[in-house]
Amino acid sequence: MMATSEPLGAAAAGPQRTEHLSSDPVGVAVIGGGTISRLHLDAYRANPDARLVTVCDIDADRARDTAAQYGAPRWTTSYEEVLADDEVTAISICTRNDTHAVIAAAALDAGKAVLVEKPLGRTSAEAQLVVDAQERSGLVAQVGFVRRFSPNAVVLKEFIEAGDLGALYYATARNLRRAGNPGGWFADKEVSGGGPLVDVGVHFIDIAWWLLGTPEVATVSGFTADRLGDRDNLRHLSRYRSADAGTSASTVEDLAGGLVRFTNGAVLSLEVSYSLHGRDDVGVKVYGDRGGAELEPELRISTEAHDTILEVTPQIDSLTFDMSAFDAEIGAFVAAVRGEGPRLAPVQDGLTVARIIEAIYASAERGREIEL
């Protein structure tokens, strides 16, 4: 039901169309009231070109309380009511993975622009549904590849596009967590679509592929392991846990990795884990014929001049991923909806990453390389 904030009784993108021709702020809705939604809500609240119209969550109390906290005039437990709201032009979809594609496709068909949190879908078939809906509508449809918007990534991309690293031919991306399985629905493959490969691997595949220039994928080899589970026996160690953690055993992988070969000859090597006996380890690196760079854990550029190797540290506010990226991501989405900026993370890119992830799982299961 749709309610006021009072108690209950009282989208290379496809075809393009500009949704918001007025100078008034864009009317936005946020569907899903979990942790990630707060980052969207905070960014919308800080953006003068956006106006929060309604909040939707299946938990009525959470929907009502969130609407009150962020000043939304309405709230609801039904996403269909959001899609029918004429004041809503754009929607952030921050629900569980198993609902991303169906809500996003329905929203686009209802004439709403969408920013869909990652992954675009649990499978490439689900992701394709969103791409098809975007191409039917021509509306802005963006996937939540927020690492593209972090200041360190923006700076490195400028160096790359200026040719300072030359032709890029190799990239590595890893996010190894020793005890990072959130449990709950994250650990339920039917709901999430997979473990660390879907949850964090999606970001690291994308950022490395984006830095490489989003070349066409040729082949994928992959591996997975599921030896440790969600390690819910651990004590004396704080970590993020899903609100429904402990309700069921983990059915997702602990560890995944792959080798992605592109048609231009470039190669991407990937490692991600939820559970591993070792230290947490994060890294993203790219290598070209004129220079290389490390994006994470801190931005560094390696090159040479006058027969001397140089290590360059850009003087910027944040050398590592910065949470201000969410403000930039939402800002880019709102600008695109207003027809004032490019579409920087189109759902078509989300489909490509979904295909890579699916191929890694298929390769691990079949024990051979997969051609795309």
Question: Could you read off the pLDDT of 214-224 as tens digits, one per residue?
Answer: 999 999 999 99
**137-156 pLDDT, tens digit each:** 999 999 999 999 999 999 99
What is the phi/psi pair of residue 344, to 5°?
Answer: -90, -15
Q: Which amino acid would we find at residue 243?
A: A
**300-352 pLDDT, tens digit each:** 999 999 999 999 999 999 999 999 999 999 999 999 999 999 999 999 999 99
Which of 130, 84, 135, 89 has the alpha carbon at shortest distance from 113?
A: 89
At residue 4, the pLDDT reads 47
Q: Which residue has the higher pLDDT, 19 or 60?
A: 60
* Mean pLDDT of the chain, nearest integer: 94
What is the phi/psi pair of residue 287, to 5°?
Answer: -135, 130
Span 41-61, average pLDDT: 98
Of 116, 146, 176, at which residue does a domain stop? Answer: 146
At residue 204, the pLDDT reads 98
pLDDT at residue 75 tops 80: yes
3-state secondary structure of 212: coil
Residue 171, in any domain of the structure = yes
pLDDT at residue 5 tops 90: no
Q: Are residues 46 and 112 in the same domain?
A: yes
Which pLDDT band holds residue 20 (cuts at 50, 70, 90)? low
Residue 295, in any domain of the structure = no
At residue 117, the pLDDT reads 98
Please answer whether residues 272 and 196 qualify as being in contact, where contact means their C-beta atoms are separated by less than 8 angstroms: yes
Fill in the DSSP letter of residue 216.
Answer: P
CATH number reported for the structural domain that contains residue 363 in this entry:
3.30.360.10
Span 102-117, average pLDDT: 98
pLDDT at residue 180 tops 90: no
Q: Are residues 128 and 60 in the same domain?
A: yes
C-alpha 6: how far from chain center = 33
At residue 8, the pLDDT reads 26
Span 41-66, average pLDDT: 98
Owning domain of residue 250: 167-288+344-371
Span 192-208, average pLDDT: 97
Q: Which amino acid would we find at residue 368?
A: R
Q: Are residues 26 and 86 in the same domain?
A: yes
Q: Are residues 142 and 174 in the same domain?
A: no
| % of residues, the chain, pLDDT over 70 | 94
Residue 140, in any domain of the structure = yes
Two tokens at 104? Answer: 């996003």
Which of 224, 228, 230, 225 has the alpha carbon at shortest distance from 184?
A: 230
pLDDT at residue 10 tops 60: no
pLDDT at residue 22 tops 90: no
Which pLDDT band holds residue 1 (cuts at 50, 70, 90)? very low
Q: Please tell me the pTM assigned to this model.
A: 0.93
Please answer whether residues 46 and 326 qualify as being in contact, where contact means their C-beta atoms are separated by less than 8 angstroms: no
At residue 240, the pLDDT reads 84
Which range (50-59, 99-108, 175-184, 262-271) has the least confidence?
175-184
Return the beta strands (E) in the chain as ranges: 2-4, 26-31, 50-56, 74-76, 90-93, 113-116, 141-143, 168-176, 217-225, 255-262, 267-273, 281-288, 292-296, 300-305, 308-312, 370-371
Please answer whether residues 353 and 206 qualify as being in contact, where contact means their C-beta atoms are separated by less than 8 angstroms: yes
Q: How many domains does the chain have?
A: 2
Span 104-115, average pLDDT: 98
Which pLDDT band holds residue 28 (cuts at 50, 70, 90)? very high
Q: Are residues 212 and 116 in the same domain?
A: no
Residue 300, in any domain of the structure = no
Element (H, E) at 336: helix 324-337
At residue 242, the pLDDT reads 83
